Amino acid sequence: MDTEKLHLDTLAVRAGIERSQFNEHSEALYLTSSFVFANAAQAAARFSGAEPGYTYSRFTNPTVTAFQARLAALEGAEACVATASGMSAILATVMGLMKAGDHIVSSHSIFGATVQLFSTLLPKFGVTTTFVDGTDVSAWERALTPSTRMLFVETPSNPLTEIADIAALAAIARRAGVLLVVDNCFCSPALQRPLDLGADLVVHSATKHLDGQGRVMGGAVAGRADLVTEGIFPFLRTAGPSLSPFNAWVLLKGMETLGVRMQAQSARALILAQWLEMRPEIERVYYPGLTSHPQHVLAMRQQKSGGSIVSFVVRGGREAAWRVVDATRIISITANLGDTKTTITHPASTTHGRISPEARAAAGIGEGLLRLAVGLEHTEDLTRDLERGLAKV
Ligand SMILES: Cc1ncc(COP(=O)(O)O)c(C=O)c1O
């Protein structure tokens, strides 16, 4: 299939399918840990790579291959490798492409576990990170050192939906001879394709919008074939944080509805953001689709819409924010996002609870902040659910 000529909605349903001898219509699920060889010579040839084919599901499985091919098509990537989770996708990128002495420049508004990985785990192996304001292009440039190997950015960021200029960062990366890695979790390829804007690699928590129904964990790295296949894949093969075939199959089915889900969830998120902006109990709303968002123009240039995540600050700090959370009856109190079920999170005490108070303050994550990951329920039911708590603030 010539994937370059097809629209994302078509690729999401059709890309990556390789039918077995039974010619099944829906994607097959290959629940097997290993594959059988005709003879010893074939086993040796498969393991050495002299003969293409499947060997062992830690690093080769047809259902996982189908997921990789579909996501590569959606992102416009030369290659893609799947991982057990979004965090193992980020870890594999670093472990596969960097060495002791190397340096990362990262935006400070990134997912809490990524902050932990960069600031506490990687230094043990000699890889250091400088955190910058992701929206300040000159800050990225200033943070470069002769050892810098990678720029890492999440846009929109979690949870404040800050927008970094991917094309501008790609230009800096190119000039400096370093890699630009974009965590595309919030938008998914349905709303934003970082590789088209010059990024070298895209990382995903497939757990989020790619699944879209809150069922399985998964992750992926997509981008240049030399980086993915020669740099990151050998780490996955050896270290083993691989995606299970079952999860790959669930993700394949989830991706079929990615385009329509992202459109519908974004439309609902915009309605909720506009509604929240009018409420006197709310100090501030963060949503890239609002004209009041500081990077609204940039967001509308590099994204198709504002996305499904709306964050807002309730007047009255943690106590008031928790009151809003606790008054919900429909919205789920859980940390996941990208689900068809709307979720609400208090980042300061959950997703970003493990990072230091100073780092939290630097990232702008206050005690009154709540993150709403908007799903597919009717917006009137969602506003009524929030109104109950807001009335008590
Ligand atoms: C932006 C972002 N990146 C990465 C991750 C990590 O993904 P996972 O939970 O699949 O490891 C998350 C999880 O919430 C996230 O929000």
The tokens of 154 are what?
């999440």
Q: How far apart are CA 276 and CA 312, in angstroms?
A: 8
Ligand 1 atom nearest the C-alpha of 90 is: 4
User: Structure pTM?
Assistant: 0.95
* DSSP category for residue 210: T
Task: Output the pLDDT for position 112.
Answer: 84
Degrees, nearest 5: CA angle 255-260-262: 80
Contacts of 117 (CB under 8 A, 6+ apart): 87, 90, 91, 94
CA dihedral 229, 232, 233, 234 (to 10 degrees): 110
> Would the CB of 207 count as within 6 Å of ligand 1?
yes
Q: What tens digit of pLDDT does each residue of 183-226 get?
A: 999 999 999 999 999 999 999 999 999 999 999 999 999 999 99
**Which residue minimizes the CA distance to atom 8 of ligand 1?**
86
Task: Output the pLDDT for position 358.
Answer: 82
Task: Output the pLDDT for position 67.
Answer: 98
Task: Output the pLDDT for position 3.
Answer: 67
Task: Output the pLDDT for position 351.
Answer: 84
DSSP code per residue over 231-299: IIHHHHHHH--PPPHHHHHHHHHHHTTHHHHHHHHHHHHHHHHHHHHH-TTEEEEE-TTSTTSTTHHHH
Which segments in the chain show pLDDT lower than 70? 1-4
Ligand 1 centre distance from Cα of residue 196 (Å): 22
Ligand 1 centre distance from Cα of residue 48 (Å): 34
Task: Output the pLDDT for position 253.
Answer: 97
Ligand 1 centre distance from Cα of residue 139 (Å): 25
> Would the CB of 152 count as within 6 Å of ligand 1?
no
Residue with tokens 């980020």: 90
